[in-house]
Structure 1
Amino acid sequence: MQAAVVEKIGEVAYRDVPSPKPNKYQALVEITCGATCNSTDYRIVHGNLPWKMDYPCILGHESVGRIISLGSKVKNFEVGELVLRPTAVYPGEKLDGYYSGWGGFAEYGLVTDVKAMIDDGANKSSINPYAFLHQKVPSSISPADAVMIITLRETMSWVDALGISFNSSVLIIGDGPVGLAFVQCAKIHGANPIIIVGHRGERLNLARIIGANYTINSHGIDFVNEVKNIIGPEGVDFLIDCTGDQSTLNASLNVVKPSGKAAAYGTPKVPPTGPAPNDSRIMRIKTDEPGAHNEIVSLILDGRINPKLFYSESLPLSRISEAIDRIGGKKALAKIIIDVREER
């Protein structure tokens, strides 16, 4: 099969690799498409994440596909179902010499029937944690729209954990796809005002469409003062930093209420841009994608979330190098759909 392979730091290519072989608790999935995680995928390719990655690895952690066959012990999936996060190689495992860069940008992948394993006596701790992220999507949602659920449910789980609610004031730092998703989820919770800080006019305009009350272009200005002019001296209830820039997070804490809460969603930059903040207002949040899955699906089906707002273009898997260059060069307005099946 074909897959996006990071062969070494700085080099990503469209390569032929072995197809994954499901065990008795796994289903084989024909992957339809994926979506770029505009920060993490780029940083995996260029080797500047704050944890060690092994190469060569198969890239992609936002993927969706249809089940085409079932292992003998699979009870909770059916052929034809659309499922999230199929992977050619699970994190911590290898596929004939290829490590996992989460493994979703490939023609085929696996999902694991975790419930069947547990029902048969498996201990949760013995199951690869990534296997708990395979949820079904209704067939009425297109694959490209479905893959947006991954980021939306992740950000919704953070909004839920922070306790953002009606009339909460929220400051979001970063206007990438994740920042836009946080605007959407905060809006769903009734937050007001929602302020987003970024540096691209087109994305800030999109943030307004999604639900931001105020947008601040940080180019050449002190955004902290701009936030104070909007919110007043008391500060905001909630801060969400999506940039991973420690110096920006430290500055942003100056406009958070003493009783407020903050969360650093963005993966820290390498090397660090400043000291790690030591502030009791910063919450340590564990993402709960499965817990927010049904909520996001219902919001899409009800028309309250338009997933098309979160991707802006599509490229075939064979042009993965171009896709990585586009997100690295800030040329993509939002996520890029990686179309695995376009060439067939």
Structure 2
Amino acid sequence: MKALAVEENGALRIVEIEKQKINDYQVLVRMLAGGICNGTDAKIIHGKFKGFHTYPAILGHEGVGEVVEMGRFVENFKLGDHVLCPFQEGMNGPYHSGWGAFAEYAVCWDWKALVKSGVSQDSPDFPVSAYTQKVIPKDMDPVHGSMMITFREVLSAMKTFALQANKSIVIYGCGPVGASFTKFAKILGLGPVIVCDLTEERMQKARDLGADETFCSTDPDLTGKIRAVCPQGVDYVVDAVGRSQIINQAMNLVTFNGKICVYGISPNNSMELDWTNSEYNWQLQFIQWPTKWEEAQAHQQVMNWIRSGILKPEEFYSHVVPFEKILEGFEMTAKQEAFKVMVTF
């Protein structure tokens, strides 16, 4: 089968690998769609994803596929089901799994059947990624299903950050992740919602999604303008970009007992904190890897929002390309010519 591989030097190419064989508790899925992640995929390509050193690797972690084969003891999937988050398991020839959803086929686990067989969820070999492998309605566009993965990750992070209604929030960045934070902040009743980005196009996107105020991130009077909206400071500042300098900028913005919430993964793993001008009490919390269990718990709420029309997945991507043109999709992403690129098979 065909798959997208990244080499250690960052080169991307479509390669031929073996279709994976499933065990008794797995299902094989034929991939239907996936999303190019502007964060994780890009950082793996550039060798900047903390803790990831195994190349060459098959990319992709925002996929949805259709069940075409089932293991003997599978109970919670059926043929034809559309399932989120299929992955490649382990090595496939010389290729490691960079989650591996950019392939023609992938694998999901029936973790409930596995537990029923006596396998402990605390076992170091337990496939925790299986928690996120949820069935979606067949009448849902698979591209929209793929967007749910970003939505679930962001919503689960917001819950862990303990963001509360009627509190003010500044969100740095309005890419797909920042846009999700913006929309969800409005749905959950936070306000005012202030979004900072570099481009007018992204700031307009934030306004379209409900942001109360938008400011250019490089404005020399950015702190003053935000303070004009929130004179006592803001309750939350979210880094949805992955720039360590945002933390120090946020020190000048958070109110007494406010919180700096770091979600974006910075290419730098160290910095000097400067709280000279901060309040005496504040918190700094990193959530750069929402647990699979937490992501799974966000699934139904995201689905409810989509079904009710409050959340429209089509507002969060700009291009859809067939898998045969996935390299063009990555090129558009690298050149920032696309908001988010989705891939169909």
What root-mean-square deviation, in Å, do the aligned CA atoms of Structure 1 and Structure 2 show?
Answer: 1.7
Q: How does 1:1-344 map to 2 (within 5 A)?
A: 1-87=1-87, 89-90=88-89, 93-124=90-121, 125=123, 126-232=125-231, 234-270=232-268, 274-275=271-272, 281-285=283-287, 287=290, 288-333=294-339, 335-340=340-345
1:237 partner letter: D
Aligned residue for 2:278? none
Q: Which has the higher contact order (CA 8 A, sep 6+)?
A: 1
Q: 3-state DSSP class of the match of 1:259? A: strand
Q: 3-state DSSP class of the match of 1:123? A: coil
Q: 3-state DSSP class of the match of 1:250? A: helix
Give, in angstroms, the shift of residue 220 of structure 1: 4.5
* TM-score, with structure 2 as normaliser: 0.92
Could you tell me which runs of 5 or more consecutive residues in structure 1 were left unpaired when the two chains were aligned: none
Runs of 4+ in 1 over 4 A off after TM superposition: 276-280
Tell me, yes or no, if the aligned pair for 2:250 and 2:260 is still in contact at 8 Å: no
Give me the whole-angstrom Cα distance separating, in 1, the residues matched to 2:77 and 2:224: 52
Aligned residues with identical type, % of pairs: 33
Give, in angstroms, the shift of residue 252 of structure 1: 1.3
1:319 partner letter: K
Q: 3-state DSSP class of the match of 2:3? A: strand
1:176 partner letter: G
Q: 3-state DSSP class of the match of 2:249? A: helix
1:338 partner letter: V
Tell me, yes or no, if the aligned pair for 2:317 and 2:341 is still in contact at 8 Å: yes
CA change 1:280–1:228 in 2 (3 A) is closer
Tell me, yes or no, if the aligned pair for 1:13 and 1:320 is still in contact at 8 Å: no
* TM-score, with structure 1 as normaliser: 0.92
Q: 3-state DSSP class of the match of 1:21? A: coil
Tell me, yes or no, if the aligned pair for 1:14 and 1:317 is still in contact at 8 Å: no
- Of 71-80 and 118-127, more deviation after overlay is shown by 118-127
Could you tell me which runs of 5 or more consecutive residues in structure 2 were left unpaired when the two chains were aligned: 276-280
- Of 292-301 and 41-50, more deviation after overlay is shown by 41-50
Encode CA deviations 1:181-236: one digit per residue, 9 max, x unaligned: 0011111111111011111211211111111111112244342222112211x111
Number of aligned residue pairs: give it: 334
Give, in angstroms, the shift of residue 162 of structure 1: 2.4
